[in-house]
Amino acid sequence: MTPSAPGSPGRDRCLDLSRRDFLKHAGAAAAVPLIRPARTILGQERVGPTPTDPAETAVARFYKTLTKEQRETIAFPFDHPKRSQVNNNWAIVKPTIGDLSPEQQALCREIMRGLCSEDGFERFMKQMEEDYGGFESYHVAVFGEPGTDKPFEWVLSGRHDTLRADGNSVEGVAFGGPIFYGHDPTGTGNDDPEHTGNVWWYQGRQANEIFLSLDQEQQKRALHDTREPDAPRTIRLKGQEIHSVPGLPVAELDDERKQMVRRLITDMLSPFRGPDAAEVLACLDAAGGVDALRLTYYKDGDIGNDRTWDIWKVEGPAFAWYFHGSPHVHTWLHVARAAEYQRPAGG
C-alpha cells in the first residue's frame, strides 16, 4: 500500500494559490492543536523513550539471542565510534539482517516497528523495498548491554537510513544521535519535479507552503543561491554561531507563520514514535523554541526550475534538519538539548 501524504495539498494547487487564499488555508490548518511534549526537558523529568518501551525491550531480547560469533561481529562497547556515525548509504557491519536467524530477523522488524508510527512504518518499508531490496538488506549493530542498567543503542544502517533505538541512554540528544532518511523511488537517482512516489516529499510541500506565505522581502532573505553540502557535517549543531549563518529568523515572523513552522516540525516527526517526537520538541523548546530557528531555502538544485524549492533547512542553536531533495530526497536530522550535548555527526 502506498502511503498518503498527511496534511498537504497537491503541488499544482499549492503553486496556483494567491497569497491571500493561501493564508486563509494555512490559518485553518494552524488552528488544529499542535503536538507538544507532555513533559518539559527543563524540569527534572526526562522526556523520550525508556528501556522498557517496545523497541528497547525487543533490542534486549535480540541481544540475548546473539551467538558468540555474532557478538564478535555486530556487538560493540557503548563508546565505540561507530555508534555516533551517520551517513546516507553505509553498512555499519558486514552482515545483513537477512544473514541473521529467522527469530532475529523478526526481532529486528519488531524493533523497527517500535521506532515508527503506523504510517511511518509503512513509509519506511516502501522506501527500503525500493531503495535496497527490502528490510532484510539493511544492517544492524548493538552497542553496550541491552537488558541491563547500563547504556545501550541499536543502530540500523543501509541505503537512505540511519536509525536508532537507545532507551534515552544518550543524555540530552534526541534519537540517541543524528539520523538520516531518504528515498529514490524511481531507482534512477533522479526524482521528477513532482517527486512522484517519494514517501518523504510531503515534507517538502509543507516547507514550500511556508515560503509561499512569506512576503517578498522575507522570501528574499530566506532564499539563497548555493546549497550546503549533502553530508553529515551539515548538521553539526552550531550553538550561538547560528546567529551568523544565512536564513530568515523565525522570531521575526508573525504568530501565524510561527505556528506554520511548528506544524512543519510536528508533521515531519509524524513517521516516528511518540517518545522520540516528544523528545525532539522538548529539546527544541529547551533551546529557545521556534523563535530560535532560521529558515533557509536554496535555488541550487531546483528540479525543473519551477521555483518549488527542493532543498531547504530548518536550523537553530541545537537543531539541524536539512532536507536535501535534489536529485532525490536525502534528509539529515540532529537535535539536542544544547549544542554541547551533540554527538559527532561523521560518516
pLDDT, tens digit, for every residue of 225-248? 999 999 999 999 999 999 988 899
Cα 205 to Cα 242: distance, rounded to the nearest angstrom = 25
Cα 342 to Cα 332: distance, rounded to the nearest angstrom = 14
pLDDT at 125 > cutoff 90: yes
**What percent of the chain is predicted at pLDDT more than 90?**
82
pLDDT of residue 192: 98
Contact (Cβ atoms closer than 8 angstroms) between residue 199 and residue 131:
no
Contact (Cβ atoms closer than 8 angstroms) between residue 233 and residue 322:
no
Assign 326 to helix, strand or coil. coil
Cα–Cα nearest to 313, from 245, 241, 217, 256: 245
pLDDT tens-digit map of 70-91: 999 999 999 999 999 999 999 9
Rounded to an integer, the average pLDDT of 335-343 is 85
Q: DSSP letter for 173, please.
A: B
Cα 337 to Cα 318: distance, rounded to the nearest angstrom = 6
Assign 104 to helix, strand or coil. helix
Q: Which cell numbers hold the place of 106?
A: 523478526
pLDDT band at 343 (very low <50, low <70, confident <90, very high): low
pLDDT tens-digit map of 33-75: 233 333 333 444 678 999 999 999 999 999 999 999 999 999 9
**Angle formed by the axes of helices 201-213 and 255-268, nearest 10°:** 180
Element (H, E) at 90: none
Cα 87 to Cα 230: distance, rounded to the nearest angstrom = 10
Sequence letter at residue 193: P
Q: Which cell numbers hold the place of 341?
A: 550535548
Contact (Cβ atoms closer than 8 angstroms) between residue 317 and residue 311:
no
pLDDT of residue 346: 47
Task: For cell 542498567, name the residue.
Answer: 149
Cα 332 to Cα 86: distance, rounded to the nearest angstrom = 9
Cα 342 to Cα 173: distance, rounded to the nearest angstrom = 6
Rounded to an integer, the average pLDDT of 136-143 is 98
Contact (Cβ atoms closer than 8 angstroms) between residue 333 and residue 86:
no
pLDDT tens-digit map of 258-296: 999 999 999 999 999 999 999 999 999 999 999 999 999
pLDDT tens-digit map of 151-164: 999 999 999 999 99
Q: How many residues does the chain have?
A: 347
End-to-end CA distance of the chain: 33
